[in-house]
């Protein structure tokens, strides 16, 4: 009852900025602290969001569980996922 899924619009040809913006909007809509749980391309989305988010929104996120991040930098990465590269390396 106290969780929400961020539904992304396009799963076949995901666009990094669209996914990051949807995550940003979901976090901004919450009044209470947030814990992020992400899998695969969602992990990379969290990293991109954290690299560009305002300090106030970053402070709202109290933790993140990132499971099996997608390797969007590998040579055999699907072309539809390459716009998520490079993965930010800054500490979350």
pLDDT tens string 14-45: 999 999 999 999 999 999 999 999 999 999 99
CA separation for the pair 66, 17 (Å, rounded): 19
- b/e map of 41-79 (b: 16 or more CB within 10 Å)? bbbbbbbbbbeebeeebeebbeebebeebbebeeeeeee
Q: pTM of the full predicted structure?
A: 0.95
* Residue 67 clears pLDDT 90, i.e. is over it: yes
The pLDDT tens digits for 41-61 are: 999 999 999 999 999 999 999
87, 44 Cβ separation under 8 angstroms: yes
Task: Report in angstroms the alpha-carbon separations of 18 from 29, 63, 83.
Answer: 16, 22, 11
pLDDT score at 29: 96
């Amino acid at each position: 009852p106290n969780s929400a899924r961020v539904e992304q619009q396009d799963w076949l040809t995901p666009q990094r900025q669209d996914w990051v913006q949807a995550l940003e909007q979901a976090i901004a809509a919450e009044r209470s602290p947030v814990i992020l749980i992400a899998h695969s391309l969602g992990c990379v989305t969290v990293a991109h969001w954290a690299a560009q988010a305002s300090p106030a929104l970053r402070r709202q996120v109290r933790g993140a569980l990132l499971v099996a991040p997608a390797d969007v930098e590998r040579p055999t990465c699907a072309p539809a996922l390459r716009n998520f590269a490079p993965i930010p390396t800054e500490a979350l």
